Structure 1
């Protein structure tokens, strides 16, 4: 049994319109205190006057139901108590016309010896701080389906505690309102002042209960119910799920054990009586109970052994992480392989972890492994990228198609307009395409040597933009038709324009001589498979990207060896490839919208880095802006935002 110490922490500013109540009930009777101590926190919105009634319902529920039978499994008593709180809460909601899912967030825990039992209502959450891990252990206890407005609690969970664990009861889901790493550092310190406040996007009250080893004769300090001052709460609506409060095998095991103890009580006198049919049935029942008890004992031992194996696995993974940090300095591949092996073992062990605290340990370790893997792998998560331009504000009907760079000038284009972008300046000029154009712009490429832009339309026309004018260009050859294309690109050192044509399994090259183009030349001399091609890039060599994530490299019409090497998570339906000018030591940039990222490879295919844009699911195009200090990566979304990232 631990000595329990409670403190509180406030997130965000106060708001007088909502009331926050935190409380604890630690019985003065030693046997009841050993059986379980209760801690809770709740926020009540718009119906402040009911706070005392809610508190009374919680306390009376525990006094009348939880401590009724101290020989019963505490989890079973906790379940019965939650059901009683639900029943009385439902009556109050009906009488007042209240929807608890919109008005009440509540988190509740019971400490029983080394065990923890917990439940939540509304948007409250409960976290475990163990070592360096802060994990939400109440996730999934409030399903969002089958909404029941009058029900407060839906499910419960249980797990084992260790000395120095901290349990954090919160009136909000913290991941949405505060930096969890900063909060974890604060919670891990020994300098939390009671009622201390830290910045957050909205308010939450945290009740923090620390588990400490009790000194001889020592115990947790008894406490009466306490109510905090009114705090701010910014409400958000959540549909509350429907789920039964479920008994566990531990409860059944406890009940069987008690029955066996009563049956085999050696203090009872033994009296020989006639062997009747009722006795035969009684002994048959005893035999059945013994068999079930043995089965449960074997199951318990198996579960206990499984738990020990998982705990050993988690501990080993933690040690391997420290080892991997050292290995990464001189052998990144070895470090990655070590972490990936532990990641797989932990993921495989997760379904067999029935203890909510053990699940939290595994998930916490998996998060740490993923973070370290990303550090070793040069994975940069751009959580809040700079929005250099928002073209949707320029035109309400913006329909993004792509970007390109002509010398030092950047352009974006949609179905009927060009946008000249001045990087790092608010100046922006929009040029609308000639209104006589009968089809939409689909693709564009510069001819850098002539400072012009070639616009390819959906009906295979070519429109040339130069000096502010748009001029239709007639295709060379007898039929005067431009070839099909899913992507177009220039070779900047020559006046060459390339059309990628997977339908005809080729690449067409158009040479330009002053103001006219030469006839198209098919460039798939090596007879490669371009049927899945989606994009191409040229730096002297030609790189063709396919929808299944492969890249083909040719030079002087000959296929060259090229294989992506070192990318942990393969490309998934990539859409764009971009090459810088340096053919030997330069880089390739691959747009992978399905994974919201840009992957960086060397020109030989070796993985170098990746930039992930969480929450951006409509990445459309990429372009590079060279700089004397750090080159800039420009990423355009379909909705018209142009994101700017400094390359590492």
Structure 2
């Protein structure tokens, strides 16, 4: 008797000296399958090829020589694997193979055959009790695999193949209990415990053995197939009609079928047969598709394990590419009538792994920190700045001062002007606002006034930023940043700050001594003393072409980028020698129409402004 096997896997390799792979090898039209859990520790470039060689030997030796029984084929396969590793060590040295901890298990009918090396262990949970089934299989021989253990499987057995000792993470009782909700939940629990152990590298395969569904005959399938049942009902009706007609005409006399009656009966029979064959063929096609999607889901689960490993090895680009592939395939399966729950689970797990790899914080059920509607139910905020740790929110002609979490009555800025940009001058205690007409206003101590410059008029721009007593105006149309210094009675004449940078696509600006200009498409241009500086961001896991605002100040160690389209703030560590690094992101899926943001000087709180509220988030 063959069992149905339900399995899930995970692996965590924290550095490049640990290579972990979890593989399943099986062939079409064969009930036998081999599961491999392997961890290779050491500075070896041959780790991936070692695993590939093992898989190829399994395919060639175990699944091809079917004239031998299962045990003999497994034994021959292990001898060939040992020989390959021995040749590799002789040719390139012992360090070429690294230290290999592995479990190799064969499921054949109702039997399990397994072997083990080094630190890898296999556990069996049966009737609520846990036992180690790999103990004593490692020998003193230099061969990787020495002994084989065999045993009979029983329905509802649960088996764990692990590349390291699991009982260092939990007790036997806890390990049994963690399997109570299924293999996927068990894997999730083991992953969380492994992550908590900062120094542990681990790969694990969790398997649940179940009784298979009985293989039914076509006749039995017909009894449960809705379409075949309808056909049978039609046939029964035809039979009853024919019987009634015969009964009416013969009334007990001998029946003489004429040619027309026979033809009708034959056509009916042929029609029924054709429909039956069509339904059975359709059923067969459905089964083929189910098998295909099942294999795809198994492959996708293995891909997730690889992505997880790549992520912990800091190969985020490869990890995210694998996750994108899994997500696309899961969406494809969602578009069919097969394995929808499994596809949804895969998508959820994909997001979970992606969030872990990319250091993503997702804000859930966040409540407003400040409700601006208490002062104006129809408020449509446009932006926000901070001054002396107080917020100043502006809409097109009003400004709202927020002290702690209390909103003061709004001040009308001007009945004829529309505010388009703003910044705060901490050293001067002034909020500076630029209007659509190119004029500049100041808000200080509850008073609003227009600010003059020694020039005839101010240069217009799309963004403002302040540093010390200077205000900077970004004007991409003229490819320039205009600098004004605040004096006692007015601002100086403008000076052109940009010397050699292309700012024609600039949309936002931040200053910490350096000037950072965010361009359309996500590029950041850095200037210092009017000169463009080398600047690039490494480790960015995805596209940031939709970011629209940049924020930093001298006291912060990071740059913050607001992406309102994808509802997130991307965090980038400031550069050293021209190279900045991606740190993480905060995703706010539940918030719409975010207009501005601010990060406090301790860099532990993020404030997000919508059209009518301010939200506070721990980061």
Q: Which TM-score applies when normalising by structure 2? A: 0.54
Deviation at 1:315, TM superposition (A): 3.0
Deviation at 1:499, TM superposition (A): 1.5
Question: Is the CA contact (8 Å cut-off) linking 1:463 and 1:470 kept in structure 2?
Answer: yes
Higher RCO structure, 1 or 2 (CA under 8 Å, sep 6+): 1
Closer, same or farther: CA 409–259 of 1 in aligned 2, 3 Å: closer
**In the alignment, what sits opposite 2:333?**
349
> 1:301 is paired with a residue of what secondary structure?
helix
Instruction: Find the aligned partners of 2:257 and 2:375 in 1 and give their Cα distance.
Output: 99
> 1:349 is paired with a residue of what secondary structure?
helix
Within the candidate set 419, 443, 461, 1:441 is matched to: 419
1:187-217: CA deviation from partner (whole Å, max 9, x where unpaired): 949xxxxxxxxxxxxxxxxxxxxxx979x9x
Question: Is the CA contact (8 Å cut-off) linking 1:591 and 1:599 kept in structure 2?
Answer: yes
Deviation at 1:453, TM superposition (A): 1.9
Closer, same or farther: CA 296–551 of 1 in aligned 2, 3 Å: farther
Closer, same or farther: CA 518–294 of 1 in aligned 2, 3 Å: same
**In the alignment, what sits opposite 1:644?**
616
**In the alignment, what sits opposite 1:607?**
582
**In the alignment, what sits opposite 2:460?**
484
Within the candidate set 507, 511, 515, 1:534 is matched to: 507
Closer, same or farther: CA 515–406 of 1 in aligned 2, 3 Å: farther
1:338-363: CA deviation from partner (whole Å, max 9, x where unpaired): 433322222233323x24xx212211
Question: Is the CA contact (8 Å cut-off) linking 2:368 and 2:614 kept in structure 1?
Answer: yes
1:620 is the counterpart of 2:599? no
**In the alignment, what sits opposite 2:428?**
450
1:95-149: CA deviation from partner (whole Å, max 9, x where unpaired): xxxxxxxxxxxxxxxxxxxxxxxxxxxxxxxxxxxxxxxxxxxxxxxxxxxxxxx
Within the candidate set 314, 317, 322, 2:297 is matched to: 314
1:287-316: CA deviation from partner (whole Å, max 9, x where unpaired): 565555444444332321221121222234
Deviation at 1:644, TM superposition (A): 1.0
> 1:421 is paired with a residue of what secondary structure?
strand
Question: Is the CA contact (8 Å cut-off) linking 1:594 and 1:617 kept in structure 2?
Answer: no
Question: Is the CA contact (8 Å cut-off) linking 1:574 and 1:590 kept in structure 2?
Answer: yes
**In the alignment, what sits opposite 2:3?**
none
Deviation at 1:619, TM superposition (A): 0.6
Question: Is the CA contact (8 Å cut-off) linking 1:600 and 1:608 kept in structure 2?
Answer: yes
> 1:594 is paired with a residue of what secondary structure?
coil
Please identify, of 407-416 and 480-489, the stretch whose mean Cα deviation from structure 2 is larger.
407-416
Where does the alignment leave 5 or more consecutive residues of structure 2 unmatched? 1-154, 158-177, 183-209, 215-223, 239-255
Deviation at 1:445, TM superposition (A): 1.2
Instruction: Find the aligned partners of 2:563 and 2:592 in 1 and give their Cα distance.
Output: 10
Give the CA RMSD over aligned residues: 4.0
Closer, same or farther: CA 452–511 of 1 in aligned 2, 3 Å: same
Bigger Rg, which one: 2
Closer, same or farther: CA 301–524 of 1 in aligned 2, 3 Å: farther
Q: How many residues align?
A: 387
> 1:516 is paired with a residue of what secondary structure?
coil
> 1:415 is paired with a residue of what secondary structure?
coil
Instruction: Find the aligned partners of 1:613 and 1:382 in 2 and give their Cα distance.
Output: 5
Question: Is the CA contact (8 Å cut-off) linking 2:573 and 2:582 kept in structure 1?
Answer: yes
Where does the alignment leave 5 or more consecutive residues of structure 1 unmatched? 1-161, 165-184, 190-211, 217-248, 264-272
Deviation at 1:577, TM superposition (A): 1.2
The residue correspondences of 1:83-482 to structure 2 (distance < 5 A) are: 188=181, 251-252=226-227, 255=230, 276=259, 279=262, 283=266, 290=273, 292-322=275-305, 324-325=307-308, 327-331=310-314, 333=316, 334-352=318-336, 354-355=337-338, 358-423=339-404, 426-430=405-409, 432-433=411-412, 438-477=416-455, 480-482=456-458
**In the alignment, what sits opposite 1:503?**
477
Question: Is the CA contact (8 Å cut-off) linking 2:559 and 2:572 kept in structure 1?
Answer: yes
Closer, same or farther: CA 504–286 of 1 in aligned 2, 3 Å: farther
1:67-89: CA deviation from partner (whole Å, max 9, x where unpaired): xxxxxxxxxxxxxxxxxxxxxxx
Closer, same or farther: CA 261–338 of 1 in aligned 2, 3 Å: farther
Q: Which TM-score applies when normalising by structure 1? A: 0.52
